[in-house]
Amino acid sequence: MISEKEKCRQGKLYDANNDAELIAERQACKALCHEYNHLLPSETKRREDIIVSLFGKSGHSFLIEQPFFCDYGYNIEIGENFYANVNCVILDEAKVKFGDNVFIAPGCGFYTAGHPFDVEQRNRGLEYARPISIGNNVWIGAHVCVLPGVMIGDNCVIGAGSVVNKDIPAGTLAVGNPCRVIRKL
């Protein structure tokens, strides 16, 4: 029998609400996020240690301002020179990869989880997860929402308040709800 975690990894509908393994992993992650968010800003070494232990991969140079929230942590990969401002939320049911030189403004969310349109499936608590990929040299403005399955190419700027529901090609400025390319950079 296939586990709920494996269903999630395969992009199938899965039940995260009643699976003991997934619940335990989220609780462990949230305990680390809680500790991280309650450290003094000056406790930089402990903050870095928590992120390194929490994330699947991290560069050597990064700063994630408090508060920060994620679901599992191990599905998050950040490159070198990564910066996330306050109130960053990464629901990492699937992989979320950030390249080098990524700058994230306050209040941004990256959501790999979604729910089916079918009301019976949704009411049973089923969900799906699709990976998110952010390229190198990307600036994401304040309060941007990146939805499941989105890829943002290298050298992009995403304008504040955008809802990114489809891929954004490299070297472009994109803004809006829904987010759309305005021009090449």
**What CA–CA distance (Å, rounded) separates 104 from 107?**
9
Amino acid of residue 110:
F
pLDDT band of 148, cuts 50, 70, 90: very high
Mean predicted confidence (pLDDT) in 166-179: 98
Mean predicted confidence (pLDDT) in 45-49: 97
| Token reading at 130 | 């699709």
- By percentage, how much of the chain surpasses pLDDT 90? 99
Which residues make Cβ contacts (< 8 Å) with residue 175, sequence separation at least 6?
Answer: 158, 159, 160, 161, 162, 182
List the domain boundaries for the chain.
4-184
Domain 4-184 has CATH 2.60.120.10: no
Decide: 108 and 83 in contact? Cβ < 8 Å.
no
Q: How many CB atoms lie within 10 A of CB 122?
A: 13
Catalytic amino acids? Answer: 115
pLDDT at 1: 86
Question: What does the pLDDT look like over 2-30, one tens digit per residue?
Answer: 999 999 999 999 999 999 999 999 999 99
Q: How many CB atoms lie within 10 A of CB 92?
A: 25
Whether residue 168 has pLDDT greater than 90: yes
Decide: 148 and 94 in contact? Cβ < 8 Å.
yes
Across the beta sheet with 82-84, the strand order is 62-64, 82-84, 103-104, 139-140, 157-158, 172-175, 180-184
Q: What is the distance between the terminal CA atoms of the chain, rounded to a whole angstrom?
A: 49
Whether residue 130 has pLDDT greater than 90: yes
pLDDT at 27: 98
pLDDT at 104: 98
pLDDT, averaged across the chain: 97
**What CA–CA distance (Å, rounded) separates 44 from 160?**
28
Amino acid of residue 71:
D
Mean predicted confidence (pLDDT) in 89-99: 98
Whether residue 153 has pLDDT greater than 90: yes
| Token reading at 19 | 């699976």
pLDDT at 150: 98
**What CA–CA distance (Å, rounded) separates 71 from 62?**
20
Mean predicted confidence (pLDDT) in 121-144: 97
